[in-house]
Amino acid sequence: MLVLYVLFLAIWARASNGFTAMDFSRPGIDFSVFWSASYAMQHGPAWQVYDYTYFEKIETALFQFPHGSFLPWLYPPTFLVLVKPLVLMPPVVAYFVFVGISALLFVFATLRLSRIASSMGTSPRGWLLVAACPCVFVPALFGQNSLLTAALAALAVHWIARHPARAGLCVGLLAIKPQMALLFPFVLIAARAWRAFGVAALSASLFGALSVLICGAQSLHRFVVVTTLARELMLEHGRHYWLASPTTFAVLREGGAPLAAAYAAQACVALLAMAAACYIWKSTRDARLRGAALTVATLLANPYVWHYELAWLGITISCLMAIGLDTGWRRSEQVVLVLAWLLPVYEFFNRLFTLPQIGPVVLLLMLLLILRRARISQEVAS
């Protein structure tokens, strides 16, 4: 897979004249939004990054975006605080530093939670297995923050039993992308992890207050306005989003379903995913099952999930692979794992090929595998 990634980048570079052709997208396209926001914060009030006209001028001046390819800033002020130092480095250097640190944290956290390296017998093979997964390559290619949020989630689950304060801090830091922390309060309550819950609430509140102090109260108001516009224009009516989103909502909207029906179906799937995650967190203390259930249920519960958010699915895959290597495989597990492993690639290219959206089916199959594993674990324990 690593060789294929290199070949893909080489072909892309040749076709786009070294990534300079204006009619081609470029690696790190989403990271350019982060760096532009950092630059804007150094040259004016932070709230202006939420002004489409102002921010488009900055992006165009810094990265020569072709007309019509403007990418708005859609993140909360908490993430603005995190990206503020990026302007201290040149964009290319900052991209590799950001992606490199995020990927290292993701691989480290995934290995600690899944213990797949010990299951395989040799640690280097475990690192290579996780690093070569498409769920790492796709977000790294875009320069997205999903590797970082997935690492925080994996570390939170890993530390929940022995270091609840650390776990709660990791959950609190997910305020940089609040929708990805959607299920954490519920599973923490189900597991009666009150200390972690308290630290998470406190750290998220302090982080939010710090971001308002640094970015100004107006940035919070503008963020709410921007998310409303993004929901109406992208989530609800953006076919380019539906083709790259492994959600129930995207499937139904692509199929022509009314908004109310799509939201209702998404809500039903979200409730089922949340119930399954809470059941597993309440019935077992196995961190691998807990981590697998939480990450795949989070992807199922959210209506707004891009292909790069499938970095979270990498945690699910690694945990289930480690369990399979340790205790033996059950029927159909390996087939579903292969489908899940390839899903980020499928979603990445689907806007080009416009194939049927299979993402929710694969994610639901993964959740069923986890529930079956939890039942088997309970039978063995009893």
Using the predicted structure, report yes or no on whether residue 85 has a pLDDT greater than 90: yes
When pLDDT is cut at 50, 70 and 90, the band that residue 382 belongs to is low
Buried b (16+ CB within 10 A) or exposed e, 292-316: bbbbbbbbbbbbbbbbbbbbbbbbb
Using the predicted structure, report yes or no on whether residue 68 has a pLDDT greater than 70: no
Closest CA to 360 of 293, 273, 274: 273
Please tell me the predicted confidence (pLDDT) of residue 18.
81
Closest CA to 342 of 43, 71, 140, 133: 133
CA distance 119 to 323: 8
Please tell me the predicted confidence (pLDDT) of residue 63.
86
Closest CA to 50 of 178, 223, 214: 223
Please tell me the predicted confidence (pLDDT) of residue 99.
96
Residue indicated by tokens 């292909």: 307
Please tell me the predicted confidence (pLDDT) of residue 52.
86
- Do the Cβ atoms of 116 and 322 come closer than 8 Å? yes
**pLDDT, tens digit (0-9, with 9 covering 90-100), for 151-185:** 999 999 999 999 999 999 999 999 999 999 999 99
Using the predicted structure, report yes or no on whether residue 359 has a pLDDT greater than 90: yes
CA distance 178 to 172: 9
Higher pLDDT, 308 or 129: 308
> How far is residue 243 CA from its own chain's centroid?
17
> How far is residue 49 CA from its own chain's centroid?
22
Mean pLDDT calculated for residue range 301-312: 95
Please tell me the predicted confidence (pLDDT) of residue 66.
61
Using the predicted structure, report yes or no on whether residue 23 has a pLDDT greater than 80: no
In the chain, % of residues over pLDDT 90? 74
pTM for this entry: 0.94
Task: Tell me what the pLDDT averaged over the chain comes to.
Answer: 92
Please tell me the predicted confidence (pLDDT) of residue 269.
97
Please tell me the predicted confidence (pLDDT) of residue 124.
65
**pLDDT, tens digit (0-9, with 9 covering 90-100), for 202-237:** 999 999 999 999 999 999 889 988 888 888 888 898
Please tell me the predicted confidence (pLDDT) of residue 228.
87
When pLDDT is cut at 50, 70 and 90, the band that residue 67 belongs to is low
Long-range contacts of 265-268 (CB under 8 A, 24+ apart): 266/303
Using the predicted structure, report yes or no on whether residue 1 has a pLDDT greater than 60: yes
**pLDDT, tens digit (0-9, with 9 covering 90-100), for 323-358:** 999 999 998 899 999 999 999 999 999 999 999 999
Using the predicted structure, report yes or no on whether residue 122 has a pLDDT greater than 60: no
Q: Which two tokens stand for residue 356?
A: 């049927």
Using the predicted structure, report yes or no on whether residue 311 has a pLDDT greater than 60: yes
Q: For residue 235, what is the DSSP state? A: I
Q: How many CB atoms lie within 10 A of CB 271?
A: 11
When pLDDT is cut at 50, 70 and 90, the band that residue 20 belongs to is confident
DSSP per residue, 90-143? -HHHHHHHHHHHHHHHHHHHHHHHH-HHHHHS-HHHHHHHHHTSHHHHHHHHHT
CA distance 190 to 184: 10
Which strand (E) or helix (H) includes residue 241?
A: helix 239-242
Q: Which two tokens stand for residue 191?
A: 């597991």
Worst-scoring range by mean pLDDT, 35-39, 55-59, 70-74, 125-129?
A: 125-129
